[in-house]
């Protein structure tokens, strides 16, 4: 049975896992900035990311481990919608790099691991409120002081802020989402800095200006996470039906 609460963990969370995930993302994206083609360059990076995900996923509970791999699948679907269909951002070679699905899994591992630490359990409210404050300041800066440096007004980030604020204030998984903000911001900032992908200055359909990256884009993980849990529930139902 899949855990509905990401705070469960079979083994004590490790600083090694948290540090490895945060450091691996920028390192991977730095290497990707030198890739000359999806094959074999990005394929090799994908195999490395797969190996890192397999190693770090061993530190979460078995039921949550299934969620991690399911996230890699579900998030890929959202990647297709976001980059290939909607076109709100574009990868350097156009296609979704092979390492991206496993990168989403690593972000999930980070969220599960950090949210289950004793420190975050004891100080969940100040932690989540602190992350919300950072996201809000970033969003406001994207509309005031940052445009002078970036040349972009980040209205797109403001669009995501209400959803992100809601899950941080109301969801029982608030610490998990706050942790996801750290990991998501880590890869978004380095990914755009190294030009691995670029957010369009004006978003399709919404027709609002966007930062590169948008400030509160981590709020999108609330939708991904909800879809992951629905998919897990559907698969459990299928397994039960098959055993009847």
Question: If the chain, 244 residues long, is cut into consecutive pieces of 10 residues, what is the mean pLDDT of each piece?
Answer: 42 76 97 96 98 93 88 94 96 97 95 92 97 96 96 96 93 93 95 97 94 91 83 78 73
Q: Classify residue 124: in a domain, yes or no.
A: yes
pLDDT confidence of residue 9:
41
pLDDT in tens, 183-239: 999 999 999 999 999 999 999 998 999 999 999 898 888 888 888 888 878 877 777
Q: Classify residue 107: in a domain, yes or no.
A: yes
Q: Classify residue 66: in a domain, yes or no.
A: yes
pLDDT above 90 covers a percentage of the chain that reads: 77
pTM: 0.90
Q: Classify residue 8: in a domain, yes or no.
A: no
pLDDT confidence of residue 1:
39
Q: Alpha-carbon torsion 223, 120, 139, 99, what sign?
A: negative
Q: Classify residue 2: in a domain, yes or no.
A: no
pLDDT confidence of residue 124:
97
Q: Classify residue 99: in a domain, yes or no.
A: yes
pLDDT confidence of residue 18:
94
pLDDT confidence of residue 244:
67
Cβ count within 10 A of residue 224: 19
Q: Classify residue 165: in a domain, yes or no.
A: yes
Q: Classify residue 4: in a domain, yes or no.
A: no
Count of domains for the chain: 1
pLDDT confidence of residue 2:
41
DSSP string over 136-196: HHHHHHTTTTTHHHHS---HHHHHHHHHHHHHHHH-TTHHHHHHHHHHHHHHHHHHHHTTS
Per the structure, the complete domain to which residue 110 belongs is given by: 15-243
């Amino acid at each position: 049975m899949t855990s509905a609460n990401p705070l469960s963990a079979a083994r004590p969370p490790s600083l090694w896992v948290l540090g490895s995930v945060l450091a691996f993302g920028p390192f991977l994206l730095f290497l990707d900035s030198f890739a000359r083609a999806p094959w074999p360059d990005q394929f090799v990076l994908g195999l490395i990311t797969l190996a890192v995900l397999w190693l770090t996923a061993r530190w979460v509970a078995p039921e949550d481990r299934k969620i991690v791999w399911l996230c890699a699948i579900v998030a890929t679907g959202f990647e297709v919608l976001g980059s290939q269909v909607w076109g709100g951002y574009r990868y350097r070679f156009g296609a979704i790099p092979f390492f991206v699905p496993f990168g989403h899994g690593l972000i999930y591992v980070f969220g599960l691991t950090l949210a289950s630490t004793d420190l975050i359990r004891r100080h969940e409210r100040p932690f989540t409120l602190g992350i919300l404050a950072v996201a809000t300041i970033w969003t406001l800066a994207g509309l005031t002081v940052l445009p002078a440096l970036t040349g972009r007004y980040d209205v797109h980030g403001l669009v995501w802020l209400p959803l992100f604020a809601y899950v941080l204030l109301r969801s029982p998984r608030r610490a998990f989402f706050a942790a996801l903000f750290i990991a998501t911001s880590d890869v978004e900032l380095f990914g755009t800095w190294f030009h691995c992908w670029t957010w369009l200055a004006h978003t399709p359909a919404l027709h609002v200006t966007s930062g590169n990256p948008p400030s509160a884009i981590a709020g999108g993980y609330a939708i991904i996470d909800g879809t992951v849990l629905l998919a897990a529930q559907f698969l459990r139902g299928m397994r039960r039906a098959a055993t009847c």
